[in-house]
Amino acid sequence: MSAVNPALLGASEAAAAIRAGSLRSRDLVQACLDRIAEVDDAVEAWVHLDPEYALKQAAILDESRAVGGPVGPLHGVPVGLKDIIDTADMPTENGTVLLQGRQPRQDATVVSLLRQAGAVILGKTVTTELATYHPGKTKNPHDPTRTPGGSSSGSAAGVASFQMPLAIGSQTNGSVIRPASYCGVWGYKPSRGLISRFGVLTQSPPLDILGFFARGADDLALIAEVLTGFDAADPQMRPHVRPALVATATAEPPVAPRIAFVRTPIWDKADADARAAIEELVDMLGDCVREVPLPSAFEHVIAWHGTVMEADIARSYRALHEQGRDRMSPTLRNQIERGLAITAVDYNDALSRIELLNYGLSQLFANFDAILTLPTTGEAPRGLDSTGSPMFCTAWTFCGTPAVTVPVMQGENGMPIGAQLVGPAGDDARLLRTARWLHNRVTAG
* Residues labelled catalytic: 82, 151, 175
Dihedral, CA atoms, 433, 161, 151, 378, nearest 10 degrees?
-70
If 0-12 CB within 10 Å is exposed, 13-18 middle and 19+ buried, where does residue 341 land?
Answer: exposed
Strands (E), 155-281: 166-171, 186-189, 209-214, 259-261
- The SS3 call for residue 203 is coil
Cβ distance 444 to 226 under 8 Å?
no
Nearest Cα neighbor of 243 from 262, 230, 257 is 230
CA distance 123 to 205: 26
Phi, psi dihedrals of residue 425, rounded to the nearest 5°:
-55, 130
* Cβ neighbours of residue 154 closer than 8 Å, sequence gap 6 or more: 44, 45, 46, 47, 80, 82, 83, 125, 126, 127, 136, 138, 148, 167
* Cβ neighbours of residue 304 closer than 8 Å, sequence gap 6 or more: 350, 353, 398
Q: What is the DSSP string of 334-345?
A: HHHHHHHT--HH
Strands 120-125, 78-82: parallel, antiparallel or unpaired by DSSP? Answer: parallel
* Cβ neighbours of residue 171 closer than 8 Å, sequence gap 6 or more: 152, 177, 189, 208, 209, 210, 211, 393, 397
CA distance 158 to 54: 16
Cβ distance 124 to 142 under 8 Å?
no
CA distance 37 to 30: 10
Cβ distance 94 to 201 under 8 Å?
yes
